[in-house]
Amino acid sequence: MENVMEQSWKQAKAVFAAALGPPLVWLVLFFLAPMAIVWAYSFGHNEGLTQIAITGTFGNYARAIEPLYLKIFLKSAWVAGLTTGLCLVLGFPVALAITFASDKAKTWLLLLIMLPFWTNLLIRTYALIAVLRTEGYVNQSLEWLWKGGGGLAALVGLQPLGDFQPLELLHNNFAVILGLVYVHLPFMVLPLYSALDRLDKSLLEASLDLGAGHMRTLFKVVVPLALPGIASGILITFIPALGAYLTPDLLGGPDSQMIANIIERQFKRANDWPFGAAMSFVLMYLTFIAIAIQAVLAKRTPEAKG
């Protein structure tokens, strides 16, 4: 897109240099250079304890697609996909309700969605641990109900209930997916809302006037028109879910590790930086592929862009 308001850099070289210099230097020195080093390491191997020789080998990538690690990649993609799907199902009605709310209600509802989004991720994860653990709020409430039920049963002369067995809610795949949905739901609702808010409401009214039901209007009118927004909501949820570290680390068990946990282990415990670097770049490539797919989808519906 050519912006006619733009000025050629030659017209104001001093301003241009003063404004470009600092962010460019910072970006190159403290972001691109570190990334480039990791990329270079992914083609190297350990030599001694601390030395890494960059030999141009593809061995680390070959190891990354061995069945053991390939399974973790596939599982991470599946977990992130499921999380995204659940967020979409949960979040779409919320976004729709906000879109058609009165101005005052809209502000409050948006604020309600934003607040958890601004709250520290670790604290939100910790809150879930407190809810789900064996002595957590859910299990203690259930135990209380169970005892109450047992007392009631004894009163009416029935067999007393057995000992309460706490549910295993933590350190498994269920907890990881619940945690990821919990953390990422606002990521989904906000882009959905901004897409739905731009829709021409008279189209919906026309559809309803012409006899289509709410569901039919939703799937035949709203969803197709809001597709680019839905696609960006999916992307914004899927990418961080795929690279999630904290949620599987704290809520998951040994069989619910995701890519990020494997990468962390290579760098911190296993001390195999070249392999960790390769895994890290596979994750980056997967991220870029997801972005590219979204970009292609967005291009297909140019009239709804904005």
Q: Which residues have CB under 8 Å from 204's CB, separation 6+?
A: 217, 221, 222
CA distance 50 to 46: 7
User: Shortest approach of other proteins to residue 227 CB, angstroms?
Assistant: 20
Considering only residues 167 to 206 of the shown chain, the ones binding other proteins according to CB under 8 A are: 182, 185-186, 190, 194, 201, 204-205
Nearer to other proteins, 130 or 158 (CB): 130
Q: Does 14 contact other proteins by CB under 8 A?
A: yes
User: Shortest approach of other proteins to residue 19 CB, angstroms?
Assistant: 4
Distance (Å) of CA 155 to CA 144, 148, 150, 234: 17, 11, 9, 53
CA distance 124 to 131: 11
| Binds other proteins by CB under 8 A, chosen from 57, 72, 75, 140 | 140
Task: Tell me how many residues contact other proteins (CB under 8 A).
Answer: 95
User: Shortest approach of other proteins to residue 34 CB, angstroms?
Assistant: 4
Q: What is the DSSP letter of 54?
A: E
User: Shortest approach of other proteins to residue 66 CB, angstroms?
Assistant: 20
Of 20, 1, 23, give the one whose Cα is nearest residue 9.
20
Considering only residues 18 to 37 of the shown chain, the ones binding other proteins according to CB under 8 A are: 18-20, 22-24, 26-27, 30-35, 37
| Binds other proteins by CB under 8 A, chosen from 58, 78, 108, 126 | 126
**Range 93-129 burial, b when 16+ CB lie within 10 A, else e:** ebbbebbeeeeeebeebeeebeeeeeeeeeebbeebb
Q: Does 112 contact other proteins by CB under 8 A?
A: yes
Say if residues 233 and 188 touch (Cβ distance below 8 Å).
yes
Q: Does 273 contact other proteins by CB under 8 A?
A: yes
User: Shortest approach of other proteins to residue 54 CB, angstroms?
Assistant: 12
| Binds other proteins by CB under 8 A, chosen from 67, 104, 118, 302 | 118
